[in-house]
Amino acid sequence: MSTATQRERRFVSPDPAATTALGAALGAVACPADIVCLWGDLGAGKTHLAKAFGAALGVRETITSPSFILMAEYRGRMPLFHIDLYRLVDATDALAGGLIDDRQVEGVTLVEWPERLGSALPAARLDVIIDGSGDDPRTLTLRSIGEGALRYLKVVP
């Protein structure tokens, strides 16, 4: 296997339960300071994945879409920060100082609509790119940007 292949894994999800299973597997290996960017159109399944990820992290509260509050914090075996940038047309300026503050390095951060970050997109992260919508199957491409997120690729079924 080439290095390039090892940095990327693909997972076909025929139904919501399969995406739940993937999210649970990813949440189980989360470490403090991880950043997971969830890419995909409206209704692709970003929040659906975030809910399963959080449940595997031990979050008992219901994870909802944090659209109106930008970032929600949940308590699990480590803090979970759930960010949704959909309503920010361009977050580059607002977040140029860094998406991650001192608190967030102690937990794992999930970002919906990471394209809004522009040049403020963190250099080290896991990208989860979700293709598909409606009742169609989803194709999820997981890509480790930097070495830190390779751990996630190993648990993709």
Ligand X SMILES: Nc1ncnc2c1ncn2[C@@H]1O[C@H](COP(=O)(O)OP(=O)(O)OP(=O)(O)O)[C@@H](O)[C@H]1O
Find the binder of Mg ion among 20, 46, 127, 128 (CB under 5 A).
46
What mask, x for binding Mg ion by CB under 5 A, covers residues 110 to 139?
A: --x---------------------------
Question: Length of the chain in residues, anyone?
Answer: 157
19 contact, one of Mg ion, ligand X, none, CB 5-8 Å limit per kind: ligand X
Q: Supply the minimum distance, in Å, between the C-beta of residue 49 and ligand X.
A: 7
CA end-to-end span of the chain? 17
Cβ nearer to Mg ion, comparing 13 with 47: 47
115 contact, one of ligand X, Mg ion, none, CB 5-8 Å limit per kind: none
- Alpha-carbon gap, residue 94 to 42, rounded angstroms: 23
Q: Which position's Cβ is nearest ligand X?
A: 45
Residues near ligand X (CB under 6 A) are: 13, 15-16, 18-19, 40, 42-48, 65, 86, 112, 135, 137-138
DSSP symbols for 25-41: HHHHT--TT-EEEEE--
Characterize the bridge pairing of strands 35-39 and 108-112.
parallel
Where are the strands (E) in 62-136, listed by range?
Answer: 71-75, 79-84, 108-112, 125-131
